[in-house]
Structure 1
Amino acid sequence: MIKINLPVLLAERGIKVADVDRQIDISRSTLYRMYNNDVIKVDLDALDKLCKLLNCTPGDLILYEDDDQTDAVKKEPTN
């Protein structure tokens, strides 16, 4: 599963999503979909602008989690 790490990066930098909305020129719906991890495809222009604003790389912003490993962790018994 691929996830957008935007909420974590913003929190680490003390930036609110509303501040990002005011600072860079990407659609509000794109920004909030990325923030809420409700993305089907990534707008490369938006990704570029976010990386510049947050001084990060696309690899910092986009995370990959192996679904098999995630499912295995969920299935582990708890004592």
Structure 2
Amino acid sequence: MIRIKLAEVMGKKRIKQKALSEQTGIRPNTISDMWYEKSKRIDLNYLDKLCEVLECQPGDLLEYVPDNKE
């Protein structure tokens, strides 16, 4: 599974969801879904805007976590 680490990156940058929404043009509900890791997919345009505003790389926002299948 892929985790969206938006909350972690935003915490390091000390930016609130509302401010990120305003700076990126991404709807507040979408930011919230990514914050709480509820999103099932992420638009590449959103990823681009997030990286630009947060001054980070896609790898800073996304993490691969293997499923625990036996």
Bin of the TM-score, shorter chain as denominator length: 0.7 to 0.9
In structure 1, stretches of 5+ residues that fail to align are 72-79
Displacement of 1:41 in angstroms is 1.2
Q: Which has the larger radius of gyration?
A: 1
Aligned to 1:29: 29
CA distance in 2 between partners of 1:41 and 1:22 (Å): 21
Identity of aligned residues (%): 36
Could you say which structure has the greater relative contact order, defined with CA pairs below 8 angstroms and 6 or more residues apart? 2
Contact persistence 2:17–2:28 (CA under 8 A): no
Q: Could you report, residue by residue, the CA deviation over 1:9-63 in whole angstroms, capped at 9, with x for unpaired residues? A: 0111111112111211112222111111011111111111000011111111011
**Aligned amino acid, residue 45 of structure 1:** N
Q: Compute the TM-score of the two structures, normalised by the length of structure 1.
A: 0.78
> Which deviates more from structure 2 when the two are superposed, residues 45-54 or residues 29-38?
29-38
Q: Which runs of 4+ in 1 moved over 4 A?
A: none
In structure 2, stretches of 5+ residues that fail to align are none
CA distance in 1 between partners of 2:64 and 2:12 (Å): 20
Query: Over aligned residues, Cα RMSD in angstroms?
Result: 1.4
Q: Compute the TM-score of the two structures, normalised by the length of structure 2.
A: 0.87
1:44-55 counterparts in 2 under 5 A?
Answer: 44-55=44-55
